[in-house]
Amino acid sequence: MRVLGVDPGLTRCGVGVVEGVAGRPLTMVGVGVVRTPLDAELGNRLVVIEQGIEAWLDEHRPAYVAVERVFSQHNVRTVMGTAQASAVAMLCAARRGIPVALHTPSEVKAAVTGSGRADKAQVGAMVTRLLRLDAPPRPADAADALALAICHIWRAPAQNRLQQAVALHAAKAPTLKGRTG
């Protein structure tokens, strides 16, 4: 399974591609950051993010895109930029028919480090170890993107089984409602 992880941000949007399956060693395929100029208009910044993500999708052809779920922060301006960059990533994937998974920051931290409260240094250190890298990817947005991809590879099989069970239950439910006693 090849996954493009996206750590959305308006100034720095981390992107990282990881390949592998749960229970086996994973491989980093690529990592980087899509940067936008601070002084550019918002619409132009979103276009730069779109072009960057499209280039990563073209080059790496992932089967899935994992995006950090935007969560409430105290700084509304920061959360808006993150949400806008996140929407661009989801749009790029959806346009190509690539499934998108959203993972919370604490879910990603827990998957990669074992603690949902891990700091950026701990996440970077574990990404380095799990992918057998010489050094943590810089900036932290790049390491976070790889962590998102790792999280998705490890959690997708369980999530897929859960979704299949729910779908099977929902499909059987109408036939069970008509039966009595």
pLDDT, residue 159, reads 64
- Mean per-residue pLDDT of the chain: 91
Which one has a higher pLDDT value, 63 or 179?
A: 63
Q: For 149-178, how does the pLDDT look when each residue is reduced to its tens digit (9 = 90+)?
A: 999 999 886 665 665 666 677 778 665 555
Whether 39 is catalytic is no
**CB neighbour class for 120 (10 Å; exposed up to 12, middle 13-18, buried from 19):** middle
Burial of residue 33 (number of CB atoms within 10 Å: 0-12, 13-18, 19+): buried
* Active-site residue, 144 included: no
Q: Which is catalytic among the residues 107, 134, 141, 144?
A: 141
105-130 pLDDT per residue, tens = 999 999 999 999 999 999 999 999 99
The pLDDT value recorded for residue 162 is 60
Catalytic residue, from 41, 54, 59, 68: name it. Answer: 68
| Digit-coded pLDDT (tens) for 40-51 | 999 999 999 999
- Catalytic residue, candidates 7, 39, 107, 119: 7
Q: Helix crossing, 140-177 with 120-130: angle to 10°?
A: 80
Q: Is 141 a catalytic residue?
A: yes
